[in-house]
Amino acid sequence: MPKLETGKPAPAFTLPDLQNRPVALAGMRGRIVLINFWSLECPWAERADQAIERWMRAWGERVAWVSIASNANENPVEVMPVAELRRLPLVLLDARQTVADAYGAVTTPHIFIVDGEGILRYQGGIDDTNFRQRTPTRQYAFDAVEALLKGEAPAVVESSPYGCSIYRFST
């Protein structure tokens, strides 16, 4: 997987939403974009959804939350009811994992935060949980967005993602 360089432009993409309408990252310029590589089956992704939903209440329209469904074994018919149940505002379908590959996403969740100018400012885990530490002590994604909202650089720009592996098609 390629490793993106924080502080550089985020890879551009256009993907269909759940109604098959194209959505481009470039169309979100001017807002902070929290990209969450997502799965309907992964309990870690569900936990991330709950946290991000709480944060979005405070952030409002200043932040765009984009969930990208990249698992090859999860089809739109399965994704739609789970996305509705979890109240996800925007789910994009990455059926061939092209965007997951461009970003080097390996887990669900795997978070990428892009500033209003299209620059990647954070990549990694939503927090510091892992196999041995199930309760987070640091909220990396939250802290990064909060810093950007204040016009500051995030203190942590990269961490290790933790969750379920993205299921890719074999080549």
Q: What stretches of 89-155 show up as alpha helix (H) in DSSP?
A: 98-103, 140-149
Average pLDDT over residues 47-53: 96
| 126 neighbors 163 (Cβ within 8 angstroms) | no
Give the residue extent of every domain in the chain: 29-165
The pLDDT assigned to 135 comes to 87
What is the per-residue pLDDT for 130? 80
Q: How far apart are CA 68 and CA 31, in angstroms?
A: 18
Which CATH superfamily, name and number, covers 29-165? Glutaredoxin (3.40.30.10)
For residue 84, the model assigns a pLDDT of: 96
Alpha carbon of 50 to those of 5, 26, 80, 155, 167: distances in Å? 28, 26, 17, 24, 22
pLDDT over 70 for what percent of the chain?
98
> CA 113 to CA 117: how far, in whole Å?
11
